[in-house]
Amino acid sequence: MYTQIPDARTRVRGRTSPHQPGDIEPIETAPKFPDTSVLLFCPEQGGWHVGEWWEVDGSGQWVAAICPDITLEPSAWIMVPADANVL
């Protein structure tokens, strides 16, 4: 069964409360830790992608978890659900 993820633009605007599990957050608040995958909303790249923050030589970027050669340009993020099915 698939769960519909609400449009990030609807839930990010006007956020003032701290992050709660399941909340869509602006990309500026995303965790930038090694080996931490998050769901990233990339409107110019087709929607939602699982990605990670990679930092090399003091410069960082969001990359696709499936292939670090793919640079992502997210505008929002959400934690990967703990009960996510892995194929």
DSSP for 49-74? EEEEEEEETTEEEEEETTEEEEEE--
Tokens 């969001």, residue located? 62
In the chain, how many domains are there?
1
Residue 57 has what pLDDT? 80
pLDDT at 53 over 60: yes
Q: What are phi and psi of 78, to 5 degrees?
A: -150, 150
Which residue range is the domain that position 31 belongs to?
Answer: 24-79
CA atoms within 13 A on the CB side of 24: 19
Is 41 in contact with 74 (CB distance < 8 Å)? yes
Note whether residue 46 is domain-resident. Answer: yes
Q: What is the residue type of 81?
A: P
Is residue 87 assigned to a domain?
no
Q: Residue range 53-57: average pLDDT?
A: 88
pLDDT attached to residue 23: 80
Q: Note the pLDDT of residue 76.
A: 97
5 located within any domain? no
**Residue 84 domain-assigned?**
no
